[in-house]
Amino acid sequence: MTAAIAALGMTMALAGCGGTGGAADVTLKLVAADYGTNARTSSEKYWKALASEFESKNPGIKIDVDVRPWKTIDADVAEMVENGKAPDIAQIGSYSHYAKQEKLYTADELLSVPTQSNFLSQLSEAGKVHRVQYGLPFVASTRLLFYNEDLFTEAGISAPKNWADIKSDAEALKEKGVTTPIAIPLGSEEAQSETMMWLLSGGGGYTDTADGSYNIDSPQNIETFQWLQKDLVGAGLTGPVAPRELDRATAFKAFTSGQVGMLNGHPTLMQDAKKSGIKVGMVPLPGTNGKAKSTMGVADWMMAFKQNGHRREVGRFLDYTYEDKNVLNFAGQYDLLPVTYSANDAMVADDSHADLRKFLEALPASELLPYGKNSWGTVSDSLKKNIGRAVEKGASPSNVLGQIARDASSAEAAE
């Protein structure tokens, strides 16, 4: 009986990770985003080390690592898929449109039960389309308003509590000669996230809370962008680079060099700023009259394409990727938040990650981007291309948001 139970346990374990017994020589193509800011911190080092460790434990499976910048990776993968050359695994920003096209394996088809059940429930739900999980959360973060404490002290100001404070603080910083009192990066790199932070602070968002439909050109959202246009951009408080031309990476680099007074940031920026000698203050992004509706949560995603038929091998690699030591290694290296219960518990208990506790505390009540909507990839692209125009001089925020809303409606209708 003992032997039978042991055999059954082995069968279940193999079935849970895709039935990996007897894998032939296979090379898996992995395309992943670069979280580093230079060659020394490139994510390529992490993935190549992980691949080497995995290969040594799994003879017959090789991992071809291809790390690409965030600015182009979503478009790069889309082009690969369109050309019939989908990678086996992609670690990018959006999965739902590939799920709609039935190009992805489900989590059930890939992962062992312990791995799948270990994802934070909020993130598992965000990875589902029609109640089926296709997107595997890779790392998460929440966003806070960062400010340069030394510049604030020199200007005689304190952390803002509402929109009026944001404007008056920015004005005080400008008077002191700060190059960019407040940075609002609405360039193509991550305009969809920057936009959502401001929409939430204005009491709006991308979707209607009642039925989940898009509500992009709601009165609250229009008022938010009218305020940004008039009171911050139009008042000359956002620096020499127009928001439409300003990417997140450029804004972050300017903050770490002491040229920016305030901007929305994630945990990685906190550590980069400290390494550069910037004394950082952090508060939730204030709302119009006080505390914002909620903070924004962000998740980046892993997904596995069916085209090459390597389900078993991919499942084995993903189970290995989501082991605690690997999750914590990546999240800790880039000061991001782990996506599993066990790794989160380990990070909370580790005093070396004490600076991340504010972000960890904010994650459960945060509002995530609408990842599970099949149309989100299309809507996100429209935001990246168009939203920066909404704050330009002479532009109509209502018209710009209306155009994006029409793009969203068309994308929804095409589902």
* Residue appearing with tokens 């990476």: 249
Cβ neighbourhood burial of 200 (10 Å; 0-12, 13-18, 19+): buried
For residue 56, the one-letter residue type is S
DSSP-assigned beta bridge partners for residue 132:
129
In this predicted structure, the answer to whether residue 22 has a pLDDT above a threshold of 90 is no
pLDDT at 362: 78
How would you write 369-385 as a 3-class SS string? Answer: CCCCCCCHHHHHHHHHH
Which is more confident, 9 or 205?
Answer: 205
Measure the CA angle with vertex 211, ends 124 and 222; round to 5°: 105
pLDDT at 158: 97
pLDDT at 266: 87
Strand extents, DSSP E, 308-369: 367-368
Q: Which helix (H) or strand (E) holds 405?
A: helix 397-413
* Residue appearing with tokens 């928001």: 243
pLDDT at 378: 87
Q: Which of 9-23, 29-43, 341-355 has the lowest mean pLDDT?
A: 9-23
Mean of the pLDDT values across residues 61-65? 98
Cβ neighbourhood burial of 179 (10 Å; 0-12, 13-18, 19+): middle
In this predicted structure, the answer to whether residue 3 has a pLDDT above a threshold of 70 is no
88-135, pLDDT tens digit by residue? Answer: 999 998 898 899 899 999 999 999 999 999 999 889 999 998 899 999
Q: Name residues whose C-beta falls within 8 Å of residue 107's C-beta, 6 or more positions apart in sequence.
A: 116, 127, 133, 134, 136
Average pLDDT, the chain: 91
Q: Is the dihedral of CA 102, 107, 111, 113 positive or negative?
A: negative
Mean of the pLDDT values across residues 73-82? 95
Strand extents, DSSP E, 296-354: 296-304
Give 210's pLDDT tier (boundaries 50, 70, 90).
confident
Cβ neighbourhood burial of 333 (10 Å; 0-12, 13-18, 19+): middle
The runs of H, that is alpha helices, within 19-85 are: 43-57, 70-82
pLDDT at 337: 92
Give 271's pLDDT tier (boundaries 50, 70, 90).
confident
For residue 328, the one-letter residue type is L
Which is more confident, 336 or 413?
Answer: 336
* DSSP one-letter string for 299-363: EEEEEEBSTT--HHHHHHHHHHHTSHHHHHHHHHHTT-B-SBHHHHHHHHH-GGGGGGHHHHHHS
pLDDT at 117: 96
145-186, pLDDT tens digit by residue? Answer: 999 999 999 999 999 999 999 999 999 999 999 999 999 999
281-330, pLDDT tens digit by residue? Answer: 999 899 999 888 788 888 999 999 999 999 999 999 999 999 999 999 99
Residue 388 and residue 241 in contact, taking contact as beta carbons nearer than 8 Å: no
In this predicted structure, the answer to whether residue 4 has a pLDDT above a threshold of 50 is no
340-355, pLDDT tens digit by residue? Answer: 999 999 998 999 888 8
* Separation CA 248–CA 362 (nearest Å): 21
In this predicted structure, the answer to whether residue 261 has a pLDDT above a threshold of 80 is yes
Domains and CATH numbers, the chain: 21-140+298-368 (3.40.190.10), 144-294+375-413 (3.40.190.10)
Residue 266 and residue 279 in contact, taking contact as beta carbons nearer than 8 Å: no
Mean of the pLDDT values across residues 223-251? 97
Mean of the pLDDT values across residues 2-24? 41
* Separation CA 130–CA 316 (nearest Å): 26
Give 412's pLDDT tier (boundaries 50, 70, 90).
confident
* Separation CA 335–CA 404 (nearest Å): 33
Return the structure tokens found at 2: 């003992």
Return the structure tokens found at 114: 């312990």
Report which of 302, 350, 300, 342 is spatially closest to residue 325, judged by C-alpha positions: 342
Distances (CA, A) of 406 to 145, 333, 401: 31, 40, 9
* Separation CA 351–CA 363 (nearest Å): 19
- Cβ–Cβ contacts within 10 Å for residue 158, how many? 14
Which is more confident, 370 or 313?
Answer: 313
pLDDT at 19: 40
pLDDT at 1: 39
pLDDT at 415: 65
Mean of the pLDDT values across residues 212-237? 96
* Separation CA 121–CA 114 (nearest Å): 13
pLDDT at 24: 55
3-state helix, strand, coil in the chain (%, to 5): 50, 15, 35
In this predicted structure, the answer to whether residue 17 has a pLDDT above a threshold of 80 is no
DSSP one-letter code for 89: E
